[in-house]
Structure 1
């Protein structure tokens, strides 16, 4: 007989201080909108063909940055679950900037 034990996943951290909420919000905005901002800035500075190339390159670079952040802060047992930018930003803020005393219980 097999005993399959399913581990409970840790919930995404919730913050109580405004500092932690602001850090999490800024990281989420950076992860979500950097790709488009780079494309628009390059389009404003130069040609739109170069802007399309910069948009594609920034999409690849931000995907790599997002995956590095995700794999460094999310617990190993939970890496198989999909996380959006808000979840990644919350985990990163909880692990790197706001420690256990700032989290809601």
Structure 2
């Protein structure tokens, strides 16, 4: 009989400093609204057809960027779970950009 151990899921990290929260918020805005902003801008500058193709292309490019951030920041065992843009931004900010702050919090405890 095989005993499989199921690892507990790590919760999404909490950001404590205002700098880290701001960075996470900017990344979230970028992931959430870049596709729409680029499409509306191309529609305003060019044509409906160009805007539609830009929508498709920006959707693909933002999906690639989102998956790269997700694969870099989220632990390997938790990548099977679905994360929204805010969760990906929080993980990326906590693991890659504000890593020193997270270690200082742990050392104080």
From the two aligned structures, give the one with the greater helix fraction.
2
Structure number with the bigger relative contact order (C-alpha 8 A, sep ≥ 6) is 1
Match of 2:95 in 1: 95
Match of 1:62 in 2: 62
CA RMSD of superposed structures (Å)? 1.6
Contiguous gaps of at least 5 residues in structure 2: none
TM-score (norm 1): 0.93
CA distance in structure 2 between the partners assigned to 1:103 and 1:55 by the alignment? 42
2:23 pairs with 1:23 = yes
Aligned partners of 1:24 and 1:93 also within 8 Å: yes
TM-score (norm 2): 0.90
Contiguous gaps of at least 5 residues in structure 1: none
Instruction: Name the count of aligned residue pairs.
Output: 105
